[in-house]
Amino acid sequence: MEDVESSVLARIGYDSSLRILQVEFRSGRVYQYFDVPSDVHEALRSAESIGGYFNREIRDKYRTAEVGPAMNSE
C-alpha cells in the first residue's frame, strides 16, 4: 500500500498477479476491486486528480468487496 495525495483516498495497493486493487479511504474503510487491469492502476497512480479518476474509471465499474477498516499502523 502506498500513500496518495487525495482528499478522498488515503492509500492504494495493487496485486498484479491477482489483478486486485485495494483502496483505503480517508474514512478508514478499505475495499478491494477485482479484475482491475494494471494500466488502470498505473493511470490511477499518475492521475492529476486521484479521487476524480477513481470515481470516473473504477468506482461502480469493477466487482468490489469491503475488507474492513484499515488497521492502525501505530
pTM summary value: 0.88
**Quick one: cell of 26?**
480517508
Buried-exposed string 38-55: b where 16+ CB fall within 10 A, e elsewhere: eebbeebeebeebbebbe
Condensed to tens digits (0 to 9), the pLDDT of residues 41-62 reads 999 999 999 999 999 999 999 9
Domain boundaries, the chain: 2-69
Give residue-wise pLDDT tens across range 2-28: 999 999 999 999 999 999 999 999 999
